[in-house]
Structure 1
């Protein structure tokens, strides 16, 4: 981190002059000291295995991720904590990362929240790459403000905080987030200028000591955090008090309809009530027709009856619940559907028996009418097909009798892309279009 911070400082100052201008002696000395300090990394050893025991022989495995931020940098580091069969804890370094804080500078709470978001993204990446079962995922931060943001369920935030809290809660739940003091937080070292020689003396690679305890309340206790001074926090939206008026509408009650002797008198009475209600309303539409109140009265009466008879069914539909197969409302719809189908069958039957036959009047040969001829387009009757699926064909041959009358024709039709020719009496064809 020391090198990243120094490079940013040098490049920022160099922007005010030419790129090839030599560094000031002070900056040159700082850069040389940092570069020479990297030689200490040769003495740093990191064990290859995560822990000293076989992962397959452990009974519990946890991932613990720590995050921290300062005005200079953001850091997050992850450890694998396992419990062996004897109840002993073992901790291994998984990965860690630090980056410079964005410019222009943000507030520390915002930077801490960004660190928490990056910790969640690291957790998603680790769980994807590890080929072992993880029983728990815990997150730690030393910012109680951020913990208040994550645990909040009563106040709303402005866009910056709201988007990041939503991202965090999409992958984690508030119970996974815990507080840790700054002096125990290993991620704190990633936000400071720690020389390479001093890394061995930090807990960056080994994690905090409480992770190595067999059982710790710090990792199992469920904590809740409140917002810290939300009325003074600029990230929290102010509360707005809203008064709501609830208007209840009582049904007319179908028992009132029993006072009327006929449907006509009932609709007239309800229509008069509608007219009185309209006249007392200042927003009355004077362009409405004089008898539309009767139509509205009919709708009102029917709706009132439906709401009483099918009260439970209507409430279930509003809640998008499934209606039982033996429900009376479903039976009503089934009856209406059958009625519609029956009316459709009646229509097509009458269309075939009363309308279609006019194209072929059954009369004796008293009038001299032209014979069917080759090239005429006809409708071919088919007792095996549905009434509206009779095929259309083309006459390709005629068979006149001794009196020169054509009483039998050959009709070519196409079914499923295959042409076929049928011989039919003219009583079974209907002329649609004459060639002449």
Structure 2
């Protein structure tokens, strides 16, 4: 059906109350060429909370059909997350699986777009990987690893492990059809079977469930990390709404194998920072809604010292990458994040399958703000964890974007009451105020 070429179309969501976007998860708009000059168009409107206008949307689609028809291009195989829009078209114009359905009565089938499965009913993305029995050779392993096409990096922590295994298994084998070492077969089978767990992973199609036009402040946050064998970066869009509520949505993720021979860890961390900068440039170029701020986070203080330094001279390797970073960003945009709070750490450590990705919420959701009344533990680097004091949050210090970054904590020790002002990175939430009420 498809010649293998996929073109992203731009679409304006002004009719839905949304600002126009180009290439992002919320658009879910693809155009694939076929041998008969016909087209497949899968398009999703904004979430239901945005109150899309089916009549306007279907009218825009029909105008697009007419415009393409003038060039002898037939626009059909349409799938939409709004039944009202699909009812405006004849069954022959709908996507496969939708032609003979009663749209008001039956569960709509899952649609595929660029390797992703789109569940129209829940408006979420998921994966369905068909792992066939292929020979345990370099060719068979490469075919299995490349069978999972992940354009946005939704499951990069899983796919990066597959690429690392391919490198490891074929290190001493140069022929494509020669059997790989038998002692490594179990490791390969474990990763291959874990791909079936990706069917349990469901990610919302839109960045957030509200319209970006109602946001008072938006911020693009990028995290980078590196390990001995991989580098990774992930981007989130942080949105503050009119009532001060904060929402965070996943935007893009990338993970790469470390070059061989492996550089030092600081050099790999620096490569991760460069990857984050390149991702930011790509996102800002494609996102029509320009964020109010751009922030970068890294858990390597060595890299941060490289970026903030303006007096010392570096080796050529470090100098070139620091120059690349500072060409489009300023040192003030770079911040430190503890390793255990860095979501990019998932890509460089890798995870076995979709279940782990789904349960580790830090990958695609934000931590809620600490509130007055929360019970926390104060971190103390000089003491073991079981001796860290417990306290009660008595006041919070939100910054201009609504995010709480410092809290005042009251502790009681030997009948003495003490008050501490600590950044949120120096405290650990033990029991939220809402949880105390329910218990």
Question: Which TM bucket (shorter chain)?
Answer: 0.3 to 0.5
- Please report the TM-score for the alignment, with normalisation by the length of structure 1: 0.48
Say which one has the larger Rg: 1
User: Which one has a larger percent strand, Structure 1 or Structure 2?
Assistant: 2
Q: Normalized per residue, which structure has more helix?
A: 1
